[in-house]
Amino acid sequence: MTAKIIDGKAIAQEIRADLAKHVAQLTAQGNTPGLTVVLVGDNPASKVYVRSKQRACEEAGINSTVHRLAEETTQEELLDLITQLNADSTVHGILVQLPLPGHLNEEEVINAILPEKDVDGFHPINVGKLQIGAGGFVPCTPAGILELVKRTEVPIAGQNVVVLGRSNIVGKPVATLFLQENATVTICHSRTKDVAAEARRADILIAAVGRPKLVKRDWVKPGAVVIDVGINRVNGKIVGDVDFEEVKEVAGAITPVPGGVGPMTIAMLLKATVEAAARG
Ligand code: GUN
């Protein structure tokens, strides 16, 4: 069997086209959605992500501003900027690109963002709302993964979902989202006894650990849906957490890297920004 390739790029493009229409309506009402991204320092991967986010905003008609701050920016300077952005009614979404340089306190910075502008869904208020299913902003990558799986039209309720990785940005929130969809969810991590055996039980396997080609053919149940969240640079090439060439021979459906989850993350960020503007 050869897996269906889930085309995240095409699905994200559809979502962005729909969003552009909504943005046009809001703009006609004098309420153009605005996203402000804060980038501190020179992390090369962060610079690439921020540029992609900015380009996608422009394409959809969303106002996008990027504050590029020097590596040596102080905590106080960064918090002052967040305070200004919180008070600016043209800024509907605030995103501080992570990771921050080591001398800065990420948690304090995230806590300073108004929850209603926290389009990343990282503020503890939004994290808590996600846990209890109370709305609020959901982290963009997990939201994109759920959307991708829904659009592959596989059932979720009652299925075994196995998540590899327990980060606050992907692993934990994606597990919560699939639990809310009535899946039976297992989270694996570096101390899990037999990760391959857990992975083989998955109807939907989500790999978000940041280890190139970790997931091999014999980790995957025939016909399973495999979602690869990894973005690993190996010899100048981007590879996922899944050994795509091997796993596509056994999976029912699989996301490529690049062109799978990545474009969905950006589409969900735009969606959150438009929602923030629409809420007023
Ligand atoms: N760094 C890697 N992924 C993300 C993300 O989704 N949001 C932010 N702010 N930083 C990131």
CA of 98 to the centre of ligand 1 (A): 5
For residues 249-278, give the mean pLDDT: 98
Collapsing DSSP states into helix, strand and coil, what is residue 200? helix
What class, spelled out in words, does domain 30-114 have in CATH? alpha beta
User: Span 139-262: which CATH code?
Assistant: 3.40.50.720
Angle at 231 between CA 228 and CA 236, to 5 degrees: 135
Predicted confidence (pLDDT) per residue in 1-45, tens digit: 799 999 999 999 999 999 999 999 999 999 999 999 999 999 999
For residues 127-133, give the mean pLDDT: 98
Closest CA to 271 of 12, 27, 4, 5: 12
CATH 3.40.50.720-classified regions of the chain: 139-262
DSSP per-residue letters across 20-31: HHHHHHHHHTT-
Q: Which residues contact 269 (CB under 8 A, 6 or more apart)?
A: 35, 53, 56, 93, 95, 119, 120, 140
Collapsing DSSP states into helix, strand and coil, what is residue 173? helix
Quick check: CB of 91 below 6 Å from ligand 1? no
Quick check: CB of 97 below 6 Å from ligand 1? yes
Q: Which residues contact 265 (CB under 8 A, 6 or more apart)?
A: 140, 141, 144
Predicted confidence (pLDDT) per residue in 14-23, tens digit: 999 999 999 9
Distance of CA 240 to the CA centre of its chain: 15
Write the CA distances from 259 to 11, 236, 239, integer angstroms.
10, 17, 11
Predicted confidence (pLDDT) per residue in 158-217, tens digit: 999 999 999 999 999 999 999 999 999 999 999 999 999 999 999 999 999 999 999 999
- What is the pLDDT, as a whole number, of residue 134? 97
Paired tokens of 139: 């982290």
Q: Answer for the pair 162, 198: CB distance below 8 angstroms, yes or no.
A: yes
Q: What is the mean pLDDT of the chain?
A: 97
CATH 3.40.50.10860-classified regions of the chain: 30-114
Paired tokens of 49: 């992500």
Residue minimizing CA distance to atom 1 of ligand 1: 98
Residue 280 pLDDT grade (very low, low, confident, very high; cuts 50, 70, 90): confident
Q: Which of 48, 49, 50, 231 to mutate to test the pocket of ligand 1 (most atoms within 8 A of CB)?
A: 49
Quick check: CB of 138 below 6 Å from ligand 1? no
DSSP per-residue letters across 66-88: EEEE-TT--HHHHHHHHHHHHH-
- What is the pLDDT, as a whole number, of residue 1? 72
- What is the pLDDT, as a whole number, of residue 261? 98
How far, in Å, CA of 92 to CA of 42, rounded?
25
Point out the residues that are catalytic.
53, 97, 120
Amino acid symbol at 106:
E
Phi, psi of 29 (to 5 degrees): -90, 5
Amino acid symbol at 87:
A
Quick check: CB of 273 below 6 Å from ligand 1? no
